Structure formats: C-alpha cells, structure tokens
C-alpha cells in the first residue's frame, strides 16, 4: 500500500511538503491573524528540521517487519505517564461508539489487564442540549460517576468553546481522569455532517484551538487526542498534526494507523505510527490498530517505539485480551483463551448488566451486536449470528444462545455420549417390550426393530 503521505524513500520531501502545507494555510486563509501566521511558520520550520528522522518500510503492515534499532530490551516496558496520571500496564481500552458502555467496561475489569478505560465518544453539543432541555445527561455517561478510576471520557465537536465547557463539567461533576478528544472518527455522520472527528485533521489551526482551550478548562486533569494518519492518503500529514497536538498542550497522542479514507480496510500502518515518535518532544505516543493478540501488543512495544497501546475492536468479543496482553508485557505465560462454555457465561453476564440499565427489550436489541462479536471466528458462528440477529425477547435470546452458541468439543462429545446412552436405553426398553409381547429373546429383536436398525446403519 503506497501513498504520497508516506515517509519512506524521502522523509525530507514528506516533511517539507508538510511545512509548505502550513505556509500555504497561513498565506491563503482569509481570516488568519499575524499570531496565527507566525504559529504556522514556526511549526512548518520545526517539521522540516525533523524530516530526516522518519521511518520507511516496503511492507509497513507486516508484523514480522525488521525491528527498529531502538527496540526495547526484555523487561524494559514501563508504565505510561499521561500528565500526572500513571497508566500501568500501558494498555488502554479504546473508546468505541455503541460498544464501550459501562457494561462492557465492567466485563473488561472482571478480567483485568487494562491500564486506562474509556467511554463511548460523547457529542459535546448534545451534552449541553440534553442538559438544558431535558435536565439529563447522555446514556453514554452511564456508570461514569461510580466506577473505578482511572477512566477517560472521549468527546467530539468542532467548536472550541463548546468542547471546553463540556470538558470542565466532566472534570468537576464526574471527576474523570482524562478528557480525550476525538479527531479520528471516519463516519460520515461525524465528518461530513458535523465537520468533526477526522474531518478536523485538515484544519490544524482549529485543532490547536480546541485542544488549547480544553487544556485550560480541564487543568490539571490531562487532555489527550486520538487521531488517524490523515483524511486521505494523498493529503495526510501526520507529522504536522502530531506537532500541533503537542504544541497545543495535549498530554498524550493516540494514533490509529489508517486514514479516514481507509476506514477499516487493509492493515494498520505501524511504520507510520513509529515515525511520529520523532515529531514529539515530551508527550507519549500510543499506537492503535489491528492489535488482536498478546504477541502483537508485545511486538508493537518492542519494534514500533510506542509508549502505550490501545486495543479496540479485537477485544469486543474477547474482553480477556487485555489480561493476556498484560501478562505478555510482564514476561509471564499468556493465559489461554477461556473455554467456549466460559465465554458463553461471560456473554450472559454482559447481557444481564445491560438489562439492569436499559430493560429487557432494549437490552436484547443492544446485545445482538455483542453476541455476534463473542461468536466471531468460532465453529458454527454463522448459524448463531443469523439467529441471534433477530431475537426480540430475553426468552428468545437465552434459547438461541443455549441451542446455537458454539460449544467446546469436549462438551459436544459429552452431549453425544449422553445422547447415545439415551438411545441405548430406548433400544433396551424396546427389546424388553419385544420379549414381553412377542416371546422372543433380547438378542433376537423383532422384525420391526431389525428393519429400523438396518435403516439406521444405512444413514450412518
């Protein structure tokens, strides 16, 4: 996968291009003050100076890529420092709309291994509207006040003052540990309609204003930013964005290794993530994308210069992934996957937590997508997903789970043995019945029984 935003084969060009972009922004924007112009020039010069430090790779998505020279020796992985907050282990749970609610976060905590959790992303403007018109707060803040810390709340909007107002309230009223800004969402409803999320990667000056005002409003609580590599592969300039984020006062930068244009297609570009380390002076770099095993998490730390990792979609149906990754970072054996019976039990506990909050009907609808995640990649998952996608009641949900959720082979074999035992008992009763009714010996079944056995043998 090649794009002109890549640093490979010409890091100077890439960074100089980024510098020119800033100069162009300053020169051709009609509403740029002298202060903003100076800011752009200084940032562009900084980009050019750092240009030769980029990383290249012919296959950036490959996890067996050549390790960088700065790979950490065994045992050197340290806790993550985000402003005054220590995150240990340096493994973060990603904010995901529609998924990372209180119930999911509780399930993850049950297994352990996560250093910092995050809510679903919260629309700042919607927060204010609900408060003013309905005197309530978004469902996405369910459980935030009472659950254990540390906990981050991610917010999004394109208006600096609105973001600052909501950030301050989250700190004062909810006592959150981190306020995270969403600059990475690629969904059209957020980018095209609301001009937020990854759309703002095209507007570094507005990003700077949002971050700086939020930092001032939330201090001393740290403010972080989550970005993608860019909007498109042709226009991406992640080094520039990284510098903007740090200059504005963010305490950490999380990078998903795809552009908004990529959505979730292809593989995350971890070489580009690693390259951004050279554009940051004092804040940590957190990598995100395709981390679906403990081995990949460890490899990311050893070879891609990240200070922390953020696990997202891979853990939706595998909340134990965090504990597996944490064990790998400690140099301990990675715990095995839970049995399918244990996974089913976990899913049902998850369902019960959602029911407690939303009631049976809404919880059943919400749980459909989670149930599909739990079954993903398992034998028989397709049949289960097909049926669970249409459940409408708790009775339906439990029935479908019991009948079609993938089962451990040992459980299947046990069921087979039990079924054979039932069938054998039935045959014995039939044979005894034959002795009583027809006066024949038990080892000489009647003609009807012989015909039945012959038919069964043909089916086998």
pLDDT at 355: 96
pLDDT at 313: 96
Rounded distance between C-alpha atoms, residue 360 and residue 350, angstroms: 13
Tens of pLDDT, residue by residue, the chain (460 residues): 333 333 333 333 333 333 433 333 333 333 444 444 444 444 444 343 333 333 333 343 445 443 333 444 455 589 999 999 999 999 999 999 999 999 999 999 999 999 999 999 999 999 999 989 988 889 999 999 999 999 999 999 999 999 999 999 999 999 999 999 999 999 999 999 999 999 999 999 999 999 999 999 999 999 999 999 999 988 889 999 999 999 999 999 999 999 999 999 999 999 999 999 999 999 999 999 999 999 999 999 999 999 999 999 999 999 999 999 999 999 999 999 999 999 999 999 999 999 999 999 999 999 999 999 999 989 889 999 999 999 999 999 999 999 989 887 654 444 444 445 544 555 455 444 443 333 433 333 434 334 433 433 333 3
Sequence-distant (≥ 6) Cβ neighbours of residue 449 within 8 angstroms: 427, 430, 431, 434
Rounded distance between C-alpha atoms, residue 33 and residue 314, angstroms: 45
Rounded distance between C-alpha atoms, residue 319 and residue 104, angstroms: 8
Per-residue H/E/C for the chain: CCCCCCCCCCHHHHHHHHHHHHHHHHHHCCCCCHHHHHHHHHHHHHHHHCHHHCCCCCCCCCCCCCCCCCCCCCCCCCCEEECCEEECCCEEECCCCCCCCHHHHHHHHHHCCCCEEECCCEEHHHHHHHHHHCCCCCHHHCCCCCCCCCEEEEEECCCHHHHHHHHHHHHHHHCCCEEEEEECCCCHHHHHHCCCHHHHHHCHHHHHHHHHHHHHHHCCCCEEEEEECCCCCCCCCHHHHHHHHHHCCCCEEEEECCCCCCCCCCCCCHHHHHHHHHHCCCCCEEEECCCCCHHHHHHHHHHCCCCEEEECHHHCCCCCHHHHHHHHHCCCCCCCCCCHHHHHHHHHHHHHHHHHHHCHHHHHHHHHHHHHHHHCCCCCHHHHHHHHCCCCCHHHHHHHHHHHCCCCHHHHHHHHHHHHHHHHHHHHHHHHHHHHHHCCCCCCCCHHHHHHHHHHHHHC
Neighbouring-strand partners of residue 311: 93
pLDDT at 439: 40
pLDDT at 335: 96
Query: Domain residues of the chain, as ranges?
Result: 73-329, 340-404, 422-459
pLDDT at 440: 35
Residue 346: active-site member: no
Contact criterion met (CB below 8 Å) for 309 and 301: yes
- Whole-model pTM? 0.75
Rounded distance between C-alpha atoms, residue 416 and residue 413, angstroms: 5
pLDDT at 411: 47
pLDDT at 135: 82
Alpha-carbon distances, residue 166 vs 128, 190, 226 (angstroms): 7, 18, 18
pLDDT at 425: 56
Q: Name the catalytic one among 185, 218, 231, 373.
A: 185
Structure tokens at 42: 């200084």
What architecture is domain 73-329? Alpha-Beta Barrel (3.20)
| CATH code linked to domain 340-404 | 1.10.1200.80
Sequence-distant (≥ 6) Cβ neighbours of residue 39 within 8 angstroms: 205, 208, 247
pLDDT at 76: 59
Sequence-distant (≥ 6) Cβ neighbours of residue 305 within 8 angstroms: 68, 70, 274, 277, 285
């Amino acid at each position: 996968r090649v794009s002109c935003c890549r640093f490979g084969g010409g890091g100077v060009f890439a960074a100089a291009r980024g510098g020119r972009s800033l100069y162009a922004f300053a020169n051709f924007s009609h509403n740029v003050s002298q202060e903003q112009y100076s800011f752009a020039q200084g940032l562009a010069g900084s980009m050019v100076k750092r240009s030769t430090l980029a990383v290249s790779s012919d296959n950036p998505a490959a996890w067996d890529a050549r390790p960088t020279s700065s790979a950490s020796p065994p045992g050197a992985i340290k806790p993550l420092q985000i402003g005054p907050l220590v995150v240990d282990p340096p493994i973060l749970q990603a904010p995901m709309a529609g998924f990372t609610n209180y119930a999911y976060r509780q399930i993850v905590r049950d297994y352990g291994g996560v250093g910092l959790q995050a809510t679903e992303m919260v629309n700042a403007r919607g927060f204010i509207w609900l408060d003013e018109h309905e005197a309530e707060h978004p469902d996405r803040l369910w459980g935030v006040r009472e659950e254990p810390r540390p906990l981050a709340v991610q917010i999004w909007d394109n208006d600096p003052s609105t973001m600052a107002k909501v950030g301050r309230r989250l700190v004062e009223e909810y006592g959150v540990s981190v306020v995270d800004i969403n600059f990475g969402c690629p969904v059209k409803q957020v980018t095209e309609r609301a001009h937020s999320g990854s759309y703002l990667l095209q507007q570094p000056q507005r990003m700077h204003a949002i971050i700086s005002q939020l930092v001032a409003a939330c201090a001393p609580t740290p403010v972080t930013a989550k970005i993608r590599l860019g909007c498109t592969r042709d226009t991406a300039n992640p080094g520039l964005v990284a510098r903007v984020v740090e200059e504005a006062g963010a305490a950490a930068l999380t990078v998903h290794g795809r552009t908004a244009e990529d959505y979730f297609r292809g593989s995350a570009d971890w070489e580009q993530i690693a390259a951004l380390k050279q554009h940051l002076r004092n804040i940590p770099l957190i990598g995100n994308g395709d981390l679906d095993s403990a081995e990949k998490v460890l490899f990311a730390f050893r070879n891609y210069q990240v200070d922390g990792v953020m696990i997202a979609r891979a853990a939706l149906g595998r909340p134990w992934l965090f504990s597996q990754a944490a064990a790998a970072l400690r140099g301990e054996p990675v715990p095995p996957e839970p049995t399918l019976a244990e996974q089913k039990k976990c899913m049902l506990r998850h369902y019960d937590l959602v029911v407690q909050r939303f009631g049976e009907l809404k919880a059943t609808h919400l749980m459909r997508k989670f149930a599909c995640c739990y079954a993903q990649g398992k034998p028989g998952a397709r049949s289960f997903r097909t049926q669970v996608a249409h459940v409408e009641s708790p009775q339906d949900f439990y029935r479908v789970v019991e009948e079609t959720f993938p089962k451990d082979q040992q459980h299947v074999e046990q069921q087979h043995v039990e079924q054979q035992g039932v069938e054998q008992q039935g045959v014995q009763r039939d044979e005894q019945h034959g002795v009583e009714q027809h006066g024949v010996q038990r080892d000489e079944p009647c003609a009807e029984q012989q015909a039945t056995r012959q038919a069964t043998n043909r089916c086998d």
